[in-house]
Structure 1
Amino acid sequence: MSLELLHKPDMSALTSLGIGGKARVLARVGDENGLDELARFIEKEGPEVIAIGEGSNMLAGDGELNLALIQIRRSRRAGVTVSENIVRTPADIRLPGLLSVLIKMGLSGMEGLAGIPGSVGGAIAMNAGSYGTEISGTVKRVRLWTPGKGLFWKNASEMDWGYRHFDARTGEFTLVWEAELRLFPSSEEKVRTAVKETFSKKKATQPVTEKSAGCVFKNPEGFSAGKLLDEAGFRGRRLGGMAFSEMHANFLVNTGGGNAAQALELMDLARETVAERSGITLNPEVIILP
């Protein structure tokens, strides 16, 4: 099916945090033909449209959400191709899957992204990064789709990149369809070792196996959000089924039965306390869906 519409999708099943109410509708795009139907869908649904990817960095509100979600789910899975160290990858491939391919090909440059669970498209949309690596450092160009222009390629240098920030400069709703990444030749053993080391480090310091949306706050310039939260007493702080992780204070986790009201109340309390103690205002890294 080129475009599948699911009415009243459950956000708790669509996000890694496992909380949230029901959106208005979810449009799943199965192939390029479905993009024509998607343009008509967006025209009908209006401005409350958002691309969701794997939902690994989203906090969805409780109750009925006036949102139309878009997700790429190719009915015929397009694979990753490699030519002269340029990797072409569909947006709906998950980062762990892409890293597995890069290990086998002995291509280096993305090892620092090990342990990030989202899709390639979501990683580009957030300029995902960790341990000094950002996906923008590898992007050669991105194939974008907009309702007005359809599919087209755009070079990385023509777009805005920043800390957890990406702007395709299209002026309209934009979907990442696929990307070309420029990597560096290495060996399967070296890349595998680097990926394992990165993941082991994260597993030892971050709740990678729990229901989480990753880092909940951005690091203020020159400071660590996790350290500020730790010093303010929020490591392990709980409210109902939501808690700041015992392993890393900047990770909000659903310990079971959590909801968005609890998550947002904890976040507000954390921001107020940190601001009172240090004068620093923490800004959310997680995308909050009203």
Structure 2
Amino acid sequence: MALERIARPSLAERTTLRLGGTAEVELVARDERDLDELGDFLMKEPLRPFVIGEGSNLLAPDTHLDVALIRTATPPGPERVEKVGDRLIVRCGGGQRLPGLLGWAQMAGLSGLEGLTGIPGSVGGAVAMNAGSYGTEIGDVVSRVRLWSPGQGLFWLDREQCDFGYRRFTPGIPMAKALIWQVELALTEGQPKQVRKTMQDNYDRKKATQPVTARSAGCIFKNPEGESAGMLLDKAGMKGARLGGMAFSDIHANFLINTGGGTSQDALELIDQGREKVKEQFGIILDMEVIIL
């Protein structure tokens, strides 16, 4: 199996905001053998590598970028690995879609991921951002992470070697940026009906308070310590604010949505407006949660 190469891929087609121009190339790794070819490519080509995952936390400019998008399409999973105490270790590829993992856990009656219900994206992306909601972060249940980098190849890091924080994951060893190839999670065995009920309750709650079906990238800003970015934006008058085809959601002010025909320029200007309004009224500078490519 050879590394798949897609010339000038559309970023708008690969991001949940449906915004962006094109990248120079997309490289799709499906097998461990593809990683050697990926490493050779990255060593030879003067392109900036970027692991795109499912594009659910990303704002891409409308222009062409000299970027090599990297996407993993690892074999089907998840799979049970072993029992450790009262936990079941589950392994899946970084390219596994997070909703697919949650659906599998629900059917298997495995608990620990219910708070992540309604979050899109890939498992690798969720770990890289330490995705979380309703008191759950994926870092809470990570047992091991298998990383790959051109210089070091594939290697496992135990939980103790990983540093998880608010919307961040940092390998606890000195190294360049790496690709998350596989993840092992320590989940608790429970009852499928109870896991399903908790997930459904969380989804219903999220659907009532967030624009989960809109073209968005999730929360635009991180919550400042002790504050809610959405509440600050709401009080600053940004809830429902529009510019071109972009708007801050009228359901949750910290969600930027593409109402149709939006551009990245519209999005960036609206983000700047929101940040400036919050700074003026509350003296707080909001930090981005969404990655600007």
Decide: shared fold, TM above 0.5: yes
- 1:19 alignment counterpart: 19
State whether structure 2 residue 219 is matched by structure 1 residue 221: no
- 1:205–1:247 Cα contact (<8 Å) kept: yes
**Identity fraction in percent:** 54
- 2:77 alignment counterpart: 79
- The structural deviation recorded for 1:78 is 2.7
Match of 1:101 among 87, 96, 104: 104
What RMSD over aligned residues (CA atoms) do the two structures have, in Å? Answer: 1.0
SS at match of 1:183: strand
Match of 2:206 among 202, 209, 221: 202
- 1:127–1:166 Cα contact (<8 Å) kept: yes
Match of 2:270 among 253, 266, 277: 266
State whether structure 2 residue 291 is matched by structure 1 residue 287: yes
SS at match of 2:6: strand
- The structural deviation recorded for 1:47 is 6.1
- The structural deviation recorded for 1:170 is 4.5
More displaced, 133-142 or 153-162? Answer: 153-162
Alignment of 1:50-61 (within 5 A): 50-61=50-61
State whether structure 2 residue 136 is matched by structure 1 residue 146: no
What is the distance in 2 between the residues matched to 1:244 and 1:55? 19
- Code of the aligned partner of 1:178: Q
- 2:164 alignment counterpart: 161
What is the distance in 2 between the residues matched to 1:44 and 1:117? 33
Q: Under a length normalisation based on structure 2, what TM-score does the superposition of the two structures give?
A: 0.96
Per-residue CA distance 1:133-158 (angstroms, 9 max, x = gap): 10000000011111111111101211
- Code of the aligned partner of 2:15: T
- The structural deviation recorded for 1:159 is 1.7
Per-residue CA distance 1:168-192 (angstroms, 9 max, x = gap): 2351130001111001111001100
Number of residue-to-residue matches in the alignment: 287
What is the distance in 1 between the residues matched to 2:46 and 2:145? 25
Structure 2 stretches of 5 or more lacking a match? none
Match of 2:117 among 110, 114, 120: 114
- The structural deviation recorded for 1:48 is 1.2
What is the distance in 2 between the residues matched to 1:104 and 1:154? 28
State whether structure 2 residue 122 is matched by structure 1 residue 124: no
- 1:2–1:32 Cα contact (<8 Å) kept: no
SS at match of 2:56: coil
Q: Under a length normalisation based on structure 1, what TM-score does the superposition of the two structures give?
A: 0.97
- Code of the aligned partner of 2:267: A
What is the distance in 2 between the residues matched to 1:142 and 1:273? 40
- Code of the aligned partner of 1:186: G
What is the distance in 2 between the residues matched to 1:150 and 1:44? 17
- Code of the aligned partner of 2:101: L
What is the distance in 2 between the residues matched to 1:103 and 1:172? 36
- Code of the aligned partner of 1:11: L
What is the distance in 1 between the residues matched to 2:207 and 2:132? 16
- 2:73–2:96 Cα contact (<8 Å) kept: no
- The structural deviation recorded for 1:42 is 1.2
